[in-house]
Amino acid sequence: MRDGFTTAGALDTHCIDKESAHPLVVAALWLHDVTKADKYLAWAEHAAYYLASWQWHYSGGYPAGGGLEKIKYDTWGGTAVSTQHHHLDPYATRLCWAC
What are the DSSP calls for 38-71, one per residue? HHHHHHHHHHHHHHHTTB--SPPP--TTSHHHHT
Please give the Cα distance from 92 to 30 (Å, whole number): 18
Per-residue pLDDT at 68: 86
Q: What is the pLDDT of residues 62-84, one digit of tens each?
A: 889 999 888 888 888 788 877 77
| Among 4-13, 30-39, 65-74, the least confident range | 4-13
Evaluate if pTM is beyond 0.85. no
Q: What is the mean pLDDT of residues 31-44?
A: 96
**8 A C-beta contact, residue 80 and residue 18:** yes
Question: Looking at residue 29, what is its pLDDT?
Answer: 93
